[in-house]
Amino acid sequence: MNAEVEKRRFYVQRRFCRFCADPNLKISYKDVKTLRQFITERGKIIPRRMSGNCARHQREITLAIKRARHLALLPYTTVGHE
C-alpha cells in the first residue's frame, strides 16, 4: 500500500518571483509587454500560484494591470465569440 502512495506523488518545480530575483525589473502600468505575461488570452489576471510571484509583487502587478486597462493599454476582455 505504501508503494501506491509513493507512485501518486509528483514533483512540481517551485516557481520563483522574477521581480525578487532581479531587483532591476520594475512593475509599471506603461510596460504593457511585461504585463501581458500576467494575463490570459481572455484578459483575466493570472493568479499568484500560477505566475509564481510573491504576494507583494502580485499586488503591484494587479494594480498595474488595472491601471493599464483604465487607460486602454490592455483589454478588459476579448471581443467576439468562437
- Report the predicted TM-score, pTM, of the whole model to 2 decimal places: 0.77
45 DSSP β-pair partners: 39
Nearest-angstrom CA–CA distance, 62 and 27: 10
Per-residue pLDDT, averaged over 13-39, amounts to 91
> What's the confidence (pLDDT) of residue 13?
62
Asked, for residue 49, whether it belongs to a domain, the answer is yes
Per-residue pLDDT, averaged over 32-57, amounts to 94
Among residues 74, 14, 9, 7, which one has the least CA distance to residue 40? Answer: 74
- Number of domains into which the chain is organized: 1
56: phi then psi, degrees, rounded to nearest 5: -60, -50
If DSSP codes are grouped into helix, strand and coil, which group holds residue 52? Answer: coil
Asked, for residue 78, whether it belongs to a domain, the answer is no
Asked, for residue 81, whether it belongs to a domain, the answer is no
If DSSP codes are grouped into helix, strand and coil, which group holds residue 49? Answer: helix
pLDDT class for 38, splitting at 50, 70, 90? very high
pLDDT class for 77, splitting at 50, 70, 90? confident
Q: Give yes or no for residue 33 having a pLDDT over 70.
A: yes
Check which CATH number belongs to the domain holding 15 and give it: 4.10.640.10
Which H/E stretch holds residue 35? Answer: helix 32-35
